[in-house]
Chains A and B, each alone.
Chain A
Amino acid sequence: MNHPKIRRSLPLLLLLSALFAQVSFAANPGQCPAIHRPLPTAEERQHLEPLFLLRCFLSIEELDRVTGSLDHDAQTTVTDPAFDSGELNPDGSMRPPLSADQRAALTKMHSVLDQDMRAGAIIRKFIPNSDIGGFLFGRTVIGSAASPQIVPTNTVRGFVGLERNTNGLGAGETVAALGLDFETGAVGQFTDATPVPFRRKVAAEILAHGLHSIRHVMSAQAASDAKIPLAKDLRDTAIAATPSFSSRSLEMNRSGQSNPYTGLGYSADLSVLTLKVNDGDAGYPLHLNEEDVMTVPTPLAVGDELLRRKADGSDRSERVVARYLPVRDSDGTVRNQWVMVRNLPRDLALYYNGLFNQAKARVLAAGG
């Protein structure tokens, strides 16, 4: 409980503890196993903050072990030198290994949260603002200047998470909860450098233009392809306890001491993200979640939305910027593409049209 991020989460845990005081009761199929409260429905679970959902199934002690696992080493049995640096903190100190109790509690957490990654699940994919134009245009340019490659942007790939993971969070809280503090340059898409070593702040880019995500509804195939990334020790424990974790998780070990990837199956910032530039302890509280990796890219679906999340913590509302819809071309061909919503304020419409035109120009310059 000495980790500052965990200390900041403690009041919430205590509040939950008080709200849902432990009572003795017989197992009831309609009741939460851990507290005296009705079991949430599958639909309700999609929208419940993970901590509230977990409280239904995990004891306070188990939740304490889960939150206490942050910044621990979940790969002590990994032998390949490529992952040695992943056992270190940003300052070069060794991370303590996960205890058996922590591994068991994390396994239980994932066995609860993973049930909601299913057909119809709503996920978010947060993207850097520099990628928005490419998504809106439908194609982008990757690779080096000497060897540019034009690729379509009609899939969701990489790290994703259920929408409930970041519901109601401001842009800065979201950057922290998702561990997007991986950049190291002076100016980034998610974070910028500060004068204090090992401390970064929410990027000016986000303060100016917001944080963007794609809201996607999962197909059965996509939900199956979304797997929990776990470092080796934790994955071995999870599979031993619940064999289905063999197909529901992916061994992904941490590499690089400044990598916010946790290996614990939940994301969090690396504790380098600060709310106040000159106060290293003014960080963000831990927001428990479960992250997934798309082991195969999944196509965007009609009805998917591009949303903008404000950086201002006082306004946590989101605005839909565009929807992925079927559009008929002049030759009668119907194809799916992003269509900007009609009620965008003029300044936002100009911003997104500008990004669209920049992406189009890059693609044309690359021969597209």
Chain B
Amino acid sequence: MPLHRRDTPDGPAWVRPPFRAEDYAAPPDAVRLFERWQGDPQSSDAILTDRESPFSNYAEVDRQARDGRTWITLLEASQEFAIEVEAARSGFGEVKAVEPRRAFELACARDPLRSRPVIRET
């Protein structure tokens, strides 16, 4: 987990250690789970927003139209790796692990939204 807690004189804060690729690399099992939903009769959006979805720990952080296809970028909320899935009417289309540096940037972009300050270590 990239972020860890630190108690400061101003109260608890989250600390983000310097970037290490291994901290933000998507595990193969996570990619495989998305792939197992390829061809599911429900659409990608229906799967992701279902209250009983196994993907509820992912936050949608980006959505782009590219090459005539729609790509959804999902950031795993605790481990902070990212996965890009092709939105499809039936399950997920193509599934890609997001490169760790990009996942790190996406995680940092959420830091201002967090309920506690984030201290970036360099």
User: Which A residues are within 8 Å of any B CB, using their own CB?
Assistant: 77-84, 142-143, 149, 151-152, 157-159, 182, 227, 232, 250-253, 255, 293-297
CB <8 Å contact, B52 and A159: yes
If the complex has contacts A79-B3, A79-B14, A82-B77, are A252 and B57 also in contact, measured as CB distance less than 8 A? yes
Question: How many B residues touch the partner, as a band?
Answer: 20 to 34
User: Which B residues are within 8 Å of any A CB, using their own CB?
Assistant: 1, 3, 5, 14, 33, 36-37, 40-43, 46, 50-54, 56-57, 59, 77-78, 89, 110, 113-116
CB <8 Å contact, B41 and A80: no
| Chain A min CB distance to B80 (Å) | 9
Within 8 Å CB of A83, what residues of B? 77
User: Which of A78, A149, A159, A296 lies in contact with B37, CB distance below 8 A?
Assistant: A296
A158 to chain B: closest residue by CB: B52
CB <8 Å contact, B43 and A182: no
| Chain B min CB distance to A118 (Å) | 20
CB <8 Å contact, B43 and A84: no
If the complex has contacts A78-B78, A79-B14, A80-B77, are A182 and B33 also in contact, measured as CB distance less than 8 A? no
CB <8 Å contact, A143 and B14: no
Within 8 Å CB of A227, what residues of B? 54
If the complex has contacts A79-B3, A80-B114, are A295 and B54 also in contact, measured as CB distance less than 8 A? yes
| Chain B min CB distance to A368 (Å) | 12
Cα distance A168–B110 in the bound complex, in angstroms: 47
Interface centre among A79, A81, A251 (most CB of B within 10 A): A79
Cα distance A79–B78 in the bound complex, in angstroms: 7
CB <8 Å contact, B51 and A80: no
B33 to chain A: closest residue by CB: A295
CB <8 Å contact, A255 and B40: no
Cα distance A28–B57 in the bound complex, in angstroms: 42
Within 8 Å CB of A232, what residues of B? 78
B3 to chain A: closest residue by CB: A79
Cα distance A152–B42 in the bound complex, in angstroms: 9
CB <8 Å contact, A251 and B33: no
| Chain B min CB distance to A335 (Å) | 16
If the complex has contacts A80-B114, A253-B77, A296-B33, are A149 and B43 also in contact, measured as CB distance less than 8 A? yes
CB <8 Å contact, A293 and B54: yes
A83 to chain B: closest residue by CB: B77
A293 to chain B: closest residue by CB: B54
User: Which of A78, A151, A157, A296 lies in contact with B52, CB distance below 8 A?
Assistant: A157
A152 to chain B: closest residue by CB: B41
A236 to chain B: closest residue by CB: B1
